[in-house]
């Protein structure tokens, strides 16, 4: 059931500011002040959109819930796939460690590799929405464009895997104030991360691992990539170098790697993941 959009306090304040500025101009109080206020407001909203972990533009899941923290859960999220060369190896690494992950998949890639998408689900993981085409101009799309882009991915993933996404991650984490009403209308929760390894641009797996492990704490949401993956100097995808060591660290520190859906209900089990 679709829920009515509930704007964030910052969006409400922005609307009030715009109305106040227009009223001020109409009352002859001086348009330079009104324009200055509106420009400053737009600058704040723009900065918020460029800050992936910001909550100014709407609900944004940046850390797991308190019950998940109590259960020593950490969520590993893997973006931009599925990739036919890398994703099967990622699945094998996760299997070997008895870990679950959340794959934020691009709808177009799911369309191109439906069997691989279904294999992700079969292995006990979850696939969530990462837009249909991961367009570089996603954050400046209009309302209708955003709705079509996200809805198309939602449809492709649901029809291919039999599971409807409940989480969404914006391409590169960038967004505009228009994203929140679209996500609310589709019953999707925006998810960012606690820490990332920058494994799409790095070449040193040690530095990527260090970024992910530094300050690692229960409830963290970690970001890696199986699509658009950065490569080591030897030509191996960074995620394949980093993930086994990261999982060893989690195990040594008493953490359990679970999917976002499992973390949302720590008493749940993987029974029903493949149902």
Q: Is 144 a catalytic residue?
A: no
pLDDT per residue as tens, the chain (275 positions): 455 667 666 655 555 444 544 555 455 555 554 455 545 554 554 665 566 889 988 999 999 999 999 999 999 999 999 999 999 999 999 999 999 999 999 999 999 999 999 999 999 999 999 999 999 999 999 999 999 999 999 999 999 999 999 999 999 999 999 999 999 999 999 999 999 999 999 999 999 999 999 999 999 999 999 999 999 999 999 999 999 999 999 999 999 999 999 999 865 544 333 33
Residue of 79, 83, 199, 226 marked catalytic: 79
Q: Is 202 exposed, middle or buried (0-12, 13-18, 19+ CB in 10 A)?
A: middle
Measured CA to CA in angstroms, residue 234 lies from 14, 54, 105 at distances of 50, 36, 26
Residue with tokens 């570089």: 136
Q: Is 126 a catalytic residue?
A: no
The CATH classification of domain 66-264, taken from the options 3.20.20.370, 3.40.50.1980, 3.30.1950.10, 3.30.70.870: 3.20.20.370
CA distance 110 to 79: 12
Q: What is the pLDDT of residue 18?
A: 44
Q: What is the pLDDT of residue 265?
A: 80
Contact criterion met (CB below 8 Å) for 199 and 208: yes
Residue of 125, 180, 225, 226 marked catalytic: 225
């Amino acid at each position: 059931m679709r829920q009515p959009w509930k704007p964030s306090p910052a969006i409400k304040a922005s609307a009030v500011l715009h109305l106040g500025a227009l009223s001020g101009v109409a009352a002859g109080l001086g348009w330079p002040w009104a324009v200055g206020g509106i420009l400053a407001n737009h600058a704040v909203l723009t900065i918020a959109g460029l800050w992936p972990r910001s909550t100014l533009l709407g609900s944004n899941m940046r850390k797991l819930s308190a019950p998940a923290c109590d259960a020593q859960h950490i969520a590993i999220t893997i973006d931009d796939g599925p990739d036919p060369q890398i994703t099967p190896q990622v699945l094998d690494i996760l299997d070997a460690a008895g870990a679950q992950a959340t794959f934020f998949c691009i709808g177009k890639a799911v369309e191109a590799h439906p069997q691989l998408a279904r294999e992700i689900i079969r292995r006990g993981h979850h696939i969530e929405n990462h837009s249909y085409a991961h367009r570089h101009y996603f954050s400046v799309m209009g309302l209708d464009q955003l709705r079509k882009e996200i809805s198309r991915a939602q449809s492709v993933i649901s029809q291919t895997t039999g599971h409807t996404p409940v989480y969404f991650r914006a391409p590169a984490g960038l967004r505009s104030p228009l994203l929140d009403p679209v996500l609310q209308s589709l019953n999707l929760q925006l998810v960012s991360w606690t820490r990332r390894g920058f494994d799409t641009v790095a070449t040193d797996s040690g530095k990527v691992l260090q970024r992910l492990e530094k300050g690692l704490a229960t409830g963290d949401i970690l970001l890696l990539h199986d699509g658009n993956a950065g490569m080591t100097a030897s030509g191996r995808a960074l995620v394949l170098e980093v993930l086994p060591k990261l999982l060893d660290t989690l195990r040594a520190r008493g953490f359990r790697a679970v999917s976002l859906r499992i973390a949302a209900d720590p008493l749940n089990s993987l029974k029903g993941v493949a149902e």
